[in-house]
A and B are shown apart, each in its own frame.
Chain A
Amino acid sequence: MAEEEKKKKSVDQATVEMIEKASSDGCSIVFERAETLKPCPIGAVGSCCSNCAMGPCRVPLPKGREETPEEKAKRRGICGATAETIAARNFVRMIASGAAAHGDHGRKVAEVFLAAAKGEAPGYQVKDEQKLLQLALELGISIADRSNEEIAVDIGELAQQEFGRQEGELLFLRRAPLKRQELWRKLGVAPRGVDREVVETMHRTHMGVDQDYKNLLHQGVRTALSDGWGGSMIATELQDILFGTPSPVFSQINLGVLKEDQVNLLIHGHEPQLAEMIAVVAQDPEMVKYAKSKGSNGINLVGMCCTANEILMRHGIPIGGNFLQQELAIVTGAVEAIVVDVQCIMQGLVEVARCYHTKVITTDDKARIQGATHITFDEYNAIESAKSIIRAAIDNFTNRTKSIRIPQYKTGLIAGFSHETINYLLGGLFRASYRPLNDNIINGRIRGVAGVVGCNNVRVTHDDGHLAMVRELIKNDVLVLQTGCSAMASAKAGLMVPEAAVQYAGEGLASVCEAVGIPPVLHMGACIDNSRILIAATAMVKDGGLGDDISDLPAAGAAPEWMSEKAISIGQYFVASGVFTVFGVTWPTLGSKEVTDHLFRDMEDMYGGMWAFEPDPVKAAHMMIEHIDKKRKALGIDKARERVLYDMAMRRELE
């Protein structure tokens, strides 16, 4: 493989090394498949409808020129659906799917939470009393001298009701800035129930139902809000109570964290109830002894994708890599088992595992993969389930066959910047506060705040989009908040340690990071934890001095390497919460100018935030900075105002 071509696949050396190893081992991986299978140009821009058996109908734009009115009139499906209807239906179905994924994750957490509160799920318990009390205060649940478990039962029941709620609005909407809540109500997008919005979107996109693209996109907004301020937020909050609210923790990331002499157990997916229990049981002396009896020196638990972020933040467990590295971990030849639950798990893992000795173990009955070993993870018997999974991995240690090569790349990082921790770090235990952040934004040391989130996408150079964007932002004094695979890209490049501030950040941002002792890029968790960014933004608003709504803040969002439907749902709830949000790679409504204009322009008038598409990450960063500057100007803080200390002579002059 030519040097240039290998670099184009990834900017991460560990990844480049393993792509090469896969090729010499004759093992097919995603990077290779992407070369032979190109994306369908009609589907990519939302111009293909397969919602009924009279189709699929493809309604592509003419290539390289404006379409004539006659051509536009003809661009319809068999049923007469216009290109606008088709693009909007496809777009809001993506939102519905993403919101359903996050919502179902939240539902499962609520179920385990309630069972734990009732004492029916041994191994799980209330770990963070403070977060429990916080939710009780918020949801109007009596605290008095009730036990944590009694309070938790009430919280769990209320949380479960949010999914099936039929009317009114989701409880967590009350957390948003007051002005934002009023806007949602005025525009009729305050979601009623997590499930209801998803179901209604699926109904309205069925053949022959909602055929007005603006009306469809309106429902898309409501569905996305039921994710960000509903399903995702419920998941984050209940996980914090069960497993602890993240606080700063040091760890390491990249394939170099795998250990040749130990049983490498990779845990991949999204829901932390599995990973948490594996993390606890893997330390059990009985398990370690069993691993040693097979000739290894112990058990090395390593995370992959979002579940990795969860156990990193709460236990400091190292991360093997992000989305596009899942197959490559197996290619090292050193992984005994990759244990998966739901979301972002490539079916290709099973094929890659066949080239080596690795066992792919599925654990969730709703996510089986043909050819994988299935061991159901039973939350009601979690310890025993975790033990069987770990034993299966240990038993596989003696089956190592092919040459093992672990790339020697790993980087240190600090993670665990939940909203609560940022608030504490900025203000201290006695007056936790966002004031120092707001003050430094007002005085211009920090230009603004950006959320850079999302996936990897094999259609662009792995990690390059994230890194180019994040570096450009911090160089321009923008504090960056990250989650998901995007956070991992920055961590691998050494941007998530305090020293990175001096090396990469602009002078103003670096001085604040040094004073507080934080990196210029803050790891806030998994993708489900984007809800933490919404809360951080709300805290900035509520602290004062930066307007009275999220749309007033000098802030922007981005997903430069997005690929999943969840990313579209996340982007849409950020836009509807007032954030300018730019996506890279590709844009799924380009097949309709009207739909795209509505998302990119009209939404700014409606929500104060809007979508944008820019595949060049540096250009996209500049769009974000421009937006931040526009907001600074509107707030009247566009010129840095240095404080002048007046001496007596100056005072006299004033008089």
Chain B
Amino acid sequence: MEYKIKKVSAPNRDEVELLGATFEEGNPEGEDAGRWRQKLDTRMEKLKYLENGERYWYGKDWFGSEKRKTPA
């Protein structure tokens, strides 16, 4: 991957090199492009993801805006 580096001057400092945005090369193609759920392989990983990523419903310690003592 080619890095884009530009030089910028920061206040009270010498010129510094700034690393620009990096993108994976090429356009994602084919039926699998954009598919992310396959990244989770085992059942354990999937359950962990649900508890963390979908914590609004399946997390044990998530209350968000709905912290309350009595369930609905």
Contact = CB atoms under 8 A, between A and B. Distances in A.
Interface of A: 128-130, 133-134, 137-138, 143, 175, 177-179, 181-182, 244-245, 247-250, 315-316, 414, 416, 420-421, 423-424, 427, 429-434, 538-539, 541-548
Contacts of A416: 34
A130 B40 contact: yes
Nearest to B34: A248
A547 B66 CA distance: 9
Nearest to A185: B72
Given A182-B72, A431-B52, A542 B36 contact: no
Most A CB contacts (10 A, CB to CB) among B31, B36, B56, B58 go to B56
Contacts of B34: 247-250, 414, 416
A545 B65 contact: yes
Contact of A133 (B35, B47, B62, B65): B47
Most A CB contacts (10 A, CB to CB) among B50, B62, B64 go to B64
- B interface residue count range (under 10 / 10 to 19 / 20 to 34 / 35 or more): 20 to 34
A432 B53 CA distance: 4
A538 B66 CA distance: 11
A250 B28 CA distance: 9
Interface string B51-72: 0111011100010111010011
A541 B67 CA distance: 12
Most B CB contacts (10 A, CB to CB) among A178, A421, A430, A541 go to A178
Given A130-B49, A134-B50, A244-B37, 17 more contacts: A128-B37, A130-B46, A133-B47, A137-B58, A138-B57, A138-B58, A143-B43, A245-B37, A247-B35, A247-B37, A249-B33, A423-B54, A427-B53, A432-B49, A538-B56, A544-B65, A546-B65
Interface string B16-55: 0000000000001001011111011001001101101110
A134 B55 CA distance: 11
Nearest to A434: B56
B59 to A, nearest CB: 10
Nearest to A416: B34
A470 to B, nearest CB: 22
B36 A133 contact: no
Nearest to B35: A247
A177 B72 CA distance: 9
Nearest to A129: B46
Contact of A175 (B28, B40, B57): B57
Nearest to B40: A130
17 contacts: A130-B37, A134-B50, A137-B47, A137-B50, A177-B66, A247-B35, A247-B37, A248-B34, A249-B31, A420-B54, A424-B53, A427-B53, A538-B56, A545-B65, A547-B65, A548-B65, A548-B66
B71 A178 contact: yes
A432 to B, nearest CB: 3
A134 B52 CA distance: 12
A416 B46 CA distance: 20
B50 A133 contact: yes
Contacts of A130: 37, 40, 46, 49-50
Contacts of B54: 134, 420, 423, 432
Contacts of B56: 434, 538-539, 542-543
Contacts of B65: 177, 541-548
Given A130-B40, A250-B33, A543 B53 contact: no
A542 B59 CA distance: 12
A248 B33 CA distance: 8
Contacts of B40: 130, 429
Given A247-B35, A539-B56, A544 B64 contact: yes
B57 to A, nearest CB: 7
Given A143-B47, A542-B66, A315 B33 contact: no
Contacts of B35: 247
A178 B52 contact: no
Contacts of A429: 36, 39-40, 49, 53
B49 to A, nearest CB: 7
A249 B29 CA distance: 9
Contacts of A129: 43, 46
B38 to A, nearest CB: 9
A247 B36 contact: yes
B72 A181 contact: yes
A544 B59 CA distance: 15
Contacts of A179: 66, 72
A137 B39 CA distance: 21
A249 B30 CA distance: 9
A574 B5 CA distance: 49
B64 A542 contact: yes
A458 B19 CA distance: 54
A151 to B, nearest CB: 10
B13 to A, nearest CB: 15
Nearest to B68: A178
Contacts of B46: 129-130, 133
A247 to B, nearest CB: 5
Contacts of A182: 72
Contacts of B39: 429
A544 B57 CA distance: 13
Contacts of B50: 130, 133-134, 137
Contacts of A137: 47, 50, 58
B24 to A, nearest CB: 11
Contacts of A432: 49, 52-54
